[in-house]
Amino acid sequence: MSSNCQPIPIEGIAYNQLKIEKKPIVPEYVPRDPVLVPKANRTVVVNPSRTCMPFGAMFAGLGMHRGLPFVQGAQGCTTYVRYTFCRIFQEPASIANASFHEDAAVFGGRKNFIEGMRNLIVRYHPDVVTVVTTCSSEIIGDDMVSFIKAARKRLIKELGEEEGNRPKLVLVNTPSFAGSHIVGYDRASRAFLETLAQDHSKPNNRINILPGMVMPGDLRELKHMLREMGVDAYILFDISDVFDTPLMPPQTLPYYPEGGTRVAEVEDMGNSIATFALCQNEGGLGARYLEQKFEIPAFIGPMPMGVKNTDLFLKRVSEVTGREIPKSLKDERGRLLDFMADTLHHTMMKRVAIFGDPDIATGITRFACELGMEPVAVMSGTKTKTFTADIEGIVGEFGFKPLILNGSDLFELEESLKTMPVDVIIGNSKGADIAKELQVPLVRAGLFVYDRVGYHKRPVIGYRGGERLLADLVNAIMDFSYPEERTQQL
Amino acid sequence: MGGPITDAIQIVHAPVGCAYYTWATRRHLSDQYAWSLPGKLDNVAFNRRYCVVTDMEEKDVVFGGSKKLLKSALESIKLFPEATGVIMYTTCTSGLIGDDIGSVAKQIEQETGKLVFFAEAPGCSGVSQSKGHHVANRQFFGQINEIRRKQPERVTPEEERTPYDIILVGEYNMDWDLKVILPLMEKIGVRVLSTFTGNARMMDLVRLPDTKLNVVHCQRSATYIADMIKEGYDIPYVKASFFGIQQTNKALRTITRHFGLDELAEKVIAEETARIQPALDWYRERLKGKTVAIYVGGPRVWHWIKLMEELGMKVVAGACTFAHEDDYEKINSRAPDGMLIIDNPNEFEVEELLETCKPDIFLCGLKEKFLGRKMGIPTLNSHSYEKGPYAGYVGFINFARDIYQALGAPVWSLVNGKEE
């Protein structure tokens, strides 16, 4: 149907016709007080680059097959997190909530939990429920261990031994005042393994992978690499077919995505030959637990991004499984190197600022260095014990000395970049304002990318993820800074 | 409710997450900007630009967070001296440990002379955001009275008032709805002093009682303050909806009747309806006979039943997240025969609703819209709109266009398993 045949008489008022006259809040530019710019010099946080601990536990819980998180707190604790998942992935995310009101705040959340859990299980028949605590339940002092026992009793009474015992309940304590979403995910990885993984008696010749909060595209790339190597793996938590699912109605109700890690897989993870936590801060706890409990060797970080980190990951997988790295993967490596050689005039000596969650920021920093870029500032929103040393280690190899912000906020990063110009920023959507103000391109990478479509569908890990990131990077730089006559020829 | 106020530093007294989620969630809603660089006003408006939070930690929970709040507020005023003042919010954490935000507010006022407002509405203190709206209405009103008493110079001087002053109460400037509402108001001869709270300034709050008439748009969240102003200052209010043609007509007539400007309303209505008629006909031709399910916040279900009829569509199901009894009475009085009405359904119930009623389109929020699509049903984000504004006459055409785009997209006919 051509619009020429049947023209629409008028559009209402198109977005680009909305002329909003920008009014300055004060007549003159106000420079920010330099004393208060460093986060270390102030109490207040301005433009944080991290969110709450329950977020990480809910992310994990949704990565289980027929898995539902149950949040012991007020409705907002769930609504906002669901909203965020919807924004990032453009997918539904079902999360249950104890719906705290005034009476729960005064008398505790026991009744809400037991009734709520009963309703959830009777209605939804989940395989596993992640019990996620919140600031309020932790402050009130809800005794979740005893609540879970009481809920189980109630379920058995109503549904019988078998059905009442069937759904697994995994408790993750996530008081947000004690850490960020990174910590929530990390704790969930240990909680699931502690609760579900069984003894080390039936070797399965598989490896465990705790990927951290990566995207569906990353997990598909990971599975691709393992498939090429002929390695069988369990992935905890596998959100690839949860947060990127096909439109294929009709389904049975209630809607569950087809993906997610199976309970039986987690149970068998105690029998694996090695555990790889791709992000040391998001899954490292789980890997260490398996090492201590079942003596399963743990390989924790770095995230397999860029050349050397991917090399290291594949080499370790090859060593523990005895499988060789196949030609197909070596070819992928070669293609990435070829791409790097073909684009080096666009990347060499480019000054870059990098921010995000600690592990991806570290991974990107190494890759940026491999591309001949100069990291000028590197920031992790969540403070970790090793971030500063990790970054120093990487940039030291290449002779750079960036500003390293370990657990700071985007306000400090932004104000710092006003005095240390960069050519490009790599980080999540929260950097869009900064990039716009500094008039440099923002290459989106990380967990909170919600203002562009399709980011989550493609990888940033592995050699092919490197190709993708490199293409995004060079195209962004070219779109932004090249005079028109150069666009016809690279 | 405080969020759309542009010249305030919005401080959330909580662990970081509570603030993170509210930051930059809506499109640009206000026109007041901080300078990003000298001579450059190029970004989102001031109130969405900075996300300010006290970042409560374990030690604050144990020893109390009032000092941290005070220090954070004073620091942010130093960092952002261009702001008129601060608006502070408590949350579950600060509410449960009992931080005294009122006395912190007094201290900030004394030390800086800035305007300070606050709302104490921890998530765990009520059933939904509706409780928060109520608390903010009540507490803001109290604080407004206090400021006017102590600083009478802030009250609008007599010579700046006109007999035709109105305030749009409960209009949050979703996707710049104001851009279509304000010109209409001008044409019917009234002067809009401000809105509560879309694109409002802090001084607009203080001057809320300086109007001649309040026009209440979102009647769920803001009738409270219109009632209080009526009681405290003897200023009348009328209820109005700016969604759809009939309701906008009615709103214009209601407002003008109050001021004896009826003729102006008729003139505007004639002009505007004639202007959009061809477009409306075009969309109605393509939408008539389609069925709709609506799941939104409060009053929009009953606001929109009429709208859908104007597009020739039929509402087969309606649900609200935070409606009260009176909202449901209104829904019931307008509901066509056989319409299914549910209070605050969960996802499973939404799925059952879609399965049972099989609507051709589902008007819902962001969280439900992806679920509906998985079931092969076109959806529309009706909370913050797809491509607004949706209010007023031309906004209604935007709404019709977005509904048509959702329904008419070829993707739905490519979905497997559909009867064709």
Q: Note whether residue A25 is domain-resident.
A: no
Query: pTM (2 decimals)?
Result: 0.95
Closest partner CB to A247 (pick from B58, B75, B374):
B374
- Residue A335 sits in the same domain as residue A484: yes
Is the complex ipTM higher than 0.85?
A: yes
Contact assessment for residue B16 and residue B60, using Cβ atoms and an 8 Å cutoff: no
- In-domain check, residue A41: no
pLDDT beyond 50 at A288 = yes
Same domain? For A142 and A86 the reply is yes
The stretch B179-187 carries a mean pLDDT of: 95
Q: What are the structural domains, with CATH classification, of chain B?
A: 8-125 (3.40.50.1980), 158-266 (3.40.50.1980), 281-414 (3.40.50.1980)
Torsion of CA A38, B104, B114, A430, to 10 degrees: 40
Residue A44 lies in a domain: no
Kindly compute the dihedral angle of the four CA atoms of residues B347, B120, B201, B217, in this order, to the nearest 10 degrees. Answer: 50
- Cβ of A176 within 8 Å of Cβ of B96? The answer is no
Per residue in B198-254, pLDDT tens? 999 999 999 999 999 999 998 888 999 999 999 999 999 999 999 999 999 999 999
Residue A23: is it exposed, middle or buried by C-beta count within 10 angstroms (0-12/13-18/19+)? middle
Q: Are residues A103 and A166 in the same domain?
A: yes
Sorting pLDDT into bands at 50, 70 and 90, what band is A1? very low
**pLDDT class of B121 with cuts at 50, 70, 90:** confident
Rounded to an integer, what distance in angstroms lies between the CA atom of residue A161 and that of residue B289? 51
> Does some domain include residue A422?
yes
Same domain for A334 and A483, yes or no, is yes
A73/B37 touch (CB, cutoff 8 Å), yes or no: no
Radius of gyration in angstroms for the set of CA atoms belonging to chain A, rounded to a whole number? 24
> Same structural domain for residues A142 and A213?
no
Beta-carbon neighbour count of residue A483 at 10 Å? Answer: 6
The first and second tokens of residue B333, run together, are 């009085």
The answer as to whether A133 is a domain residue is: yes
CA distance A172 to chain B (A): 17
Tell which of A161, A196, A231 closes a domain. A196
Alpha carbon distances (Å) from B89 to A464, B14, B121, B125, B135? 46, 9, 7, 13, 11
- For residue B338, the distance in angstroms to the closest alpha carbon of chain A comes to 23
pLDDT tens, residue by residue, B320-347 = 888 888 888 888 888 888 899 999 899 9
Interface of B with A in 265-284 (CB under 8 A): 275-276, 278-279, 281-282
- Residue A12 falls inside a structural domain: no
Instruction: Convert the pLDDT of each residue in A86-95 to its tens digit.
Output: 999 999 999 9
Residues A431-462: tens digit of each pLDDT = 999 999 899 999 999 999 999 999 999 999 99
Tell me, yes or no, whether A239 lies in a domain: yes
Give yes or no: residues A305 and A367 share one domain. Answer: no
Looking at the structure of chain A, the number of domains it has is 3
Q: Across chain B, what does the average pLDDT equal?
A: 93
Last residue within a domain, chosen from A196, A231, A261? A196
CA angle A367, A370, A374 (to 5 degrees): 90
* Residue A372 sits in the same domain as residue A250: no
Same-domain status, A423 and A470: yes
Contact A44 B53 (CB under 8 A): yes
**Same-domain status, A292 and A258:** yes
What span, in angstroms and rounded, lies between the C-alpha atoms of B271 and A10? 15
Residues A298, A191, single domain; the answer is: no
Structure tokens at A264: 């039986």
Judge whether A129 and A152 are in contact, CB under 8 Å.
no
Say if residue A181 is in the same domain as residue A63.
yes
Stretch 162-191 of chain B: residues touching chain A, C-beta under 8 Å: 176, 179-180
Distance (Å, rounded) from C-alpha B276 to C-alpha B401? Answer: 12
Query: Domain for residue A99, yes or no?
Result: yes
Please write the tens of the pLDDT for every residue from B10-40.
999 999 999 999 998 877 778 999 988 888 8
Contacts of B119 in chain A (CB under 8 A): none
Residue of B nearest to A20 (CA): B31
Domain of residue A357 covers: 330-488
A residues 222-281 lying closer than 8 A (beta carbon) to B: 245, 247-251, 253-255
Last residue of a domain, one of A294, A327, A360: A327
Residues A136 and A224 in one domain: no
Of A28, A87, A254, the CB nearest to B351: A254
Q: How far is CA A77 from CA A53, A57, A74, A136, A145, in A?
A: 10, 12, 6, 10, 21
Q: What's the CATH code of the domain at A444? A: 3.40.50.1980
